[in-house]
Amino acid sequence: MLKWSALFLIFAVIAGILGFFSIVVSIAATIAKILFVIFLVLFVISLFTGRRRVS
């Protein structure tokens, strides 16, 4: 999932730099933001519920 969020984030930045249509930029940026937030939420959850070693 991190790969997808990074990919859409890079796409949004490149589209913004090259001056593509504002619709394409806004869609790519929105997808990147949503995937990034999902990744962060899952990361925080995995920190608290991760596997613990049993010795």
Mean pLDDT by 10 residues, the chain (55 residues): 72 72 73 80 81 65
Residue 51 is classified by DSSP as: -
Q: How far apart are CA 13 and CA 54, in angstroms?
A: 45
Give the pLDDT score at 40. Answer: 82
Name which of 39, 55, 14, 36 is nearest 47 in CA terms: 39
| Residue 45 three-state SS | helix
